Amino acid sequence: MKVIIPTALRKHTDGQNHLSITATTVQDALEQVVTAHPQLRSSLFDDRNQLVSYVNVFVNDRNIRDLENEATPLRETDEILLVPAIAGG
Amino acid sequence: MSDQGMLAREETARYARHLTLPEVGTEGQVKLKSASVLVVGTGGLGSPVALYLAAAGVGRLGIIDFDRVEYSNLQRQIIHGSEDVGRPKVESAAESIGNVNPLIQIDRHDEAFTSANAMRIAADYDIVIDGTDNFATRYLVNDVCVLLGKPNCYGSIFRFEGQASVFGLPGGPCYRCLYPKPPDPGTIPNCAEGGVLGILPGIVGTLQATEAIKLILGIGESLSGRLLLLDALEMKFRELKVRRDPTCPLCGDAPTITAPIDYDQFCGTPKQDAAQSPWDIEPTELKRRLEAGQPLTILDVRKQHEYDICNLGGTLIPLDELPTRLDELDRTRPIVVHCKLGMRSAKAVQILRDAGFPDVSNLNGGIIRWSKQIDPTVETY
Ligand SMILES: [Zn+2]
């Protein structure tokens, strides 16, 4: 499955706009992503290892807050999007 | 229809292509004429929004901006022209709008949109467009819209990416439902630091204007409850579901925010005179030291392209290269570090202090504050 990396976070993934992984839950997917790219961790998790509230995680078109948060199960065809707040205008 | 229903002959000519559309027609055009829209910010997003809403015949357009036109705006803020550099943006924008459509009313608000004036200003409009460029004002626009019951046509851009939605419609979510808290300052670069493709606000702003027109006409499917994401490099639009959060402190079932708050505090925006580093120095102090001829190294930790716009003649070592280029600096000389606003240089000061440099200080407020307080000939961006 694909994890889509937004522009604002690509500096932590050597410019890659998506990562391909195999995971069973969102938690598992995010762990794999920050393990592969440790610099991403501080952009996604706070000091208490909670997901920061200014980056939304979507599975396909659904916010994981409206699903089962990090326990949300994944299928191979799912697309995971990291959507940080942006403010430019 | 009331008297308002009458369109003058010059209006029927001007809006002929609307009048031909069954979904608009005379009735719709009169709705547009009777409508009022507040465009917050006349920058990248506000430019196309204001021009298109004016062209479409929205009867009364409010524009609010405290800024003046700079050269670095012209790459995307198409409501302003080269000869407008230095003018108040509101004045320049009003002139362009008047050229596009002299039949509409333009309200100029040449001031910042703040907690103190936002409720009073926004109360006078049917719809608010968020064309701001910082988190503090975005939360302010959102809160004011929900508190007043006005739709907020939202758009935001960064580099090659855009977001658009409509917040604050009955039953729909607000910006806080999507992003309960803003990022810590410095975690997400703004467009001044991160750059933005000049055309991008043109795409996103026209989406916002489209949503405003649809709301006025009462046609189509609103973007409320949907977040449209644009990646201009892939040229891909994605549509995500956004639900109202019953626990939202603003639009939830038991709201706790009942009036505008202190958004600089909420967003942790550094106040210009607030400390950025334990080793801050004021621009006046740097000026005094330079004039006294004291030996010192000015270290600029911005990027080359920023240096090319303006500089204080300092040594350029971008922040991310600093840790590997320490040996280029003379440890025996006092060092004053600066960047654009003082945040990156504060980090650089810490890096140098940690590496054992004995006398390193941070130019508070960066080159921008230097330009404002000491030397206005230094170009800002
Ligand atoms: Zn809300």
Distance from CA of B42 to the nearest CA of A (A): 9
Q: Is the pLDDT of residue B160 over 70?
A: yes
Same domain, B79 and B177: yes
Do B187 and A86 form a contact (C-beta atoms < 8 A)?
A: no
- B279-334 pLDDT tens trace: 999 999 899 899 988 899 999 999 999 999 999 999 999 999 999 999 999 999 99
pLDDT value, residue B5:
52
The backbone torsions φ and ψ at residue B284, rounded to the nearest 5 degrees and listed phi first, read -60, -35
Residues B191 and B262 grouped into a single domain: yes
Give the distance from residue A82's alpha carbon to the nearest chain B alpha carbon, in angstroms: 11
Q: Domain range for residue B288?
A: 280-373
C-alpha A40 to ligand 1 mean position (Å): 28
Could you tell me the CATH number of the domain that includes residue B329? 3.40.250.10
From ligand 1's centre to the CA of B174, what distance in Å?
4
Of the CA atoms within 13 Å of residue B308, those in its CB half-sphere come to 4
CA distance B8 to B56: 15
Residues B225 and B248 occupy one common structural domain:
yes
pLDDT of res. B271? 58
Mean pLDDT of B213-235: 97
- Which residue among B187, B234, B241 sits closest to A43, beta carbon to beta carbon? B187
**Which chain A residues are closer than 8 Å to B243 by Cβ?**
63, 66
User: What is the average pLDDT across B132-160?
Assistant: 97
pLDDT under 70: residue ranges of chain A? none
Does domain A2-84 bear CATH number 3.10.20.30? Answer: yes
% of chain B beyond a pLDDT of 70: 96
Residue B241 confidence (pLDDT) above 80: yes
Q: Do B188 and A87 touch (CB under 8 A)?
A: yes
- Predicted pLDDT of residue B376: 85
Q: Please name the helix (run of DSSP H) or strand (run of DSSP E) that holds residue B107, with its range, or none.
A: strand B105-109
Q: Are B76 and B190 within one domain?
A: yes
> Per the CB < 8 Å rule, is A8 touching B241?
no
pLDDT for the residue numbered A7: 87
Decide if A63 and B242 are in contact by the 8 Å CB cutoff: yes
The mean predicted confidence, pLDDT, of chain B is 94
Domain boundary among B242, B267, B292: B267
Domain endpoint, select from B267, B300, B331: B267
Q: How many CB pairs under 8 A join A and B?
A: 95
Name the nearest CA neighbour of B267 among B359, B156, B371, B190: B190
When pLDDT is cut at 50, 70 and 90, the band that residue B373 belongs to is confident
Query: Residues A27, A69: contact at Cβ < 8 Å?
Result: no
- Which 8-state DSSP code applies to residue B281? E
Asked if residue B216 has pLDDT above 50, the reply is yes
Check A6 against B161: CB less than 8 A apart. yes
Residue B74, pLDDT > 60, answer: yes
Whole-number Å distance, alpha carbon B266 to ligand 1 midpoint, is 16
**Overall average pLDDT of the B229-249 stretch:** 96
CB contact under 8 A, B130 and A85: no
Domain harbouring B64, CATH code? 3.40.50.720
Residue with tokens 């932590």: A12
- Ligand 1 centroid to Cα of residue B249, in Å, is 7
Q: Which of B253, B39, B251, B263 is closest to B148 using CA atoms?
A: B251
pLDDT tens per residue, range B85-104: 999 999 999 999 999 999 99
C-alpha of residue B251 to centroid of ligand 1, in Å: 4
Q: For residue A54, list chain B residues with Cβ-Cβ distance below 8 A.
A: 179, 181-183, 187-188
Question: Tell me: the pLDDT tens digits for B27-45?
Answer: 999 999 999 999 999 999 9
Q: Are residues B206 and B96 in the same domain?
A: yes
Say if the Cβ atoms of B194 and A8 lie within 8 Å: yes
Query: B237 and B294 share a domain?
Result: no
Nearest CA distance, B282 vs chain A (angstrom): 29
Residue B295 lies in a domain: yes
B214 domain-assigned: yes
Supply the pLDDT for residue B71: 92
B227 and A43: CB-CB below 8 Å? no
- Residue B14 alpha carbon to ligand 1 centre in Å: 40
* pLDDT tens digits along B340-349: 999 999 999 9
Q: Report whether B115 contacts B260 (CB < 8 A).
A: yes
> Which pLDDT value is given to residue B274?
74
Query: Which of A40, A83, A86 best tests the B interface by mutation, with the highest count of B CBs <10 A?
Result: A86
Confidence band of B49 (pLDDT split at 50, 70, 90): very high
Q: Are residues B228 and B369 in the same domain?
A: no
Enumerate the domain spans of chain A: 2-84
Whether residue B335 sits in one domain with residue B365: yes
Could you give the residue numbers annotated as active site of B? Answer: 191, 339
- Give me the pLDDT at residue B185, please: 75
Confidence of residue B3 (pLDDT cuts 50, 70, 90): very low
CB within 8 Å: B188 and A6: no
Considering only CB atoms, B133 lies closest to which of A52, A62, A87, namely A87
Residues B52 and B109 in one domain: yes
Looking up tokens 């701001």, which residue turns up?
A: B132
Task: Render the burial of A44-57: b for 16+ CB within 10 Å, e for the rest.
Answer: beeeeeebbbbbbb
User: Residue A8's pLDDT is what?
Assistant: 85
Q: What is the pLDDT of residue A38?
A: 94
Among B43, B158, B239, beta carbon nearest to A86: B158
**Mean pLDDT within B365-379:** 90
Q: Residue B380: its pLDDT value, please?
A: 83
**Shortest CA distance from B160: residue in chain A:** A7
State the nearest Cα–Cα gap between B9 and chain A, in angstroms.
Answer: 37
Q: Which of B233, B267, B301 is the last residue of a domain?
A: B267
CA distance A18 to chain B (A): 12
Nearest chain A residue (CA) to B191: A88
How many domains is chain B built from? 2
Categorize the per-residue pLDDT at B1 as very low, low, confident or very high, splitting at 50, 70 and 90: very low
| Predicted pLDDT of residue B4 | 45
Could you report the predicted ipTM of this complex, rounded to two decimals?
Answer: 0.95
CA B146 – CA B170 distance, rounded (Å)? 9
The partner residue sitting opposite A89, judged by closest CB among B132, B180, B182, is: B132
Q: Would you state the pLDDT for residue B183?
A: 87
pTM (2 d.p.): 0.80
- Report if residue B11 sits inside a domain: no
Instruction: Say whether both B243 and B296 belong to one domain.
Output: no
- For residue B132, the chain A residues in CB contact (below 8 A) are 87, 89
Residue B273 included in any domain: no
Both B87 and B164 in one domain: the answer is yes
CA distance B289 to B108: 43
Q: What is the pLDDT of residue B89?
A: 97
